[in-house]
Amino acid sequence: MNDLLQIVEVRPLPGYRLFLRYEDGVEGEVDLSHLVGHGVFVRWNDPTEFQRVTVCEGRYLAWGDEIDLCADALYLEITGKSPEDLFPNLKVLECLRSAGSTESSSA
């Protein structure tokens, strides 16, 4: 799997949802309504601000300089995959960490 997923299209939808399409053909909607009004997302209390989403370098979505969301995290949301599915090396790293902690605790 390509470690650098690229967003090629974003469209804001009603209800603080986004339609996303990725370079690998995956597409779908994400619901971001649970973020509205919290922390930096207070900016979205004005729905026109949410509509101003842009794709930056294919790697993240941005709303000005204050808010950005990672392409990988959104891909996981759309596909229902786990980080380990997307990045198989995470499994290897976790195994290595577990082996290291077992060795150090038995020493």
Of 46, 53, 43, nearest to 17 (Cα)?
A: 53
In a domain, 21, yes or no: yes
In a domain, 33, yes or no: yes
Tally Cβ neighbours within 10 Å of residue 71.
21
**pLDDT: which is higher, 43 or 100:** 43
Count how many domains the chain has. Answer: 1
In a domain, 74, yes or no: yes
What element of type H or E holds 25? Answer: none
In a domain, 87, yes or no: no
Tens-place pLDDT, residues 47-73: 999 999 999 999 999 999 999 999 999
CATH number at residue 34: 3.30.2020.10
**In which domain, by residue range, is 27 found?**
7-81
In a domain, 98, yes or no: no
In a domain, 70, yes or no: yes
In a domain, 55, yes or no: yes
In a domain, 25, yes or no: yes
- pLDDT of res. 89: 77
19's CB contacts (< 8 A; 6+ apart) are 9, 10, 11, 13, 27, 28, 29
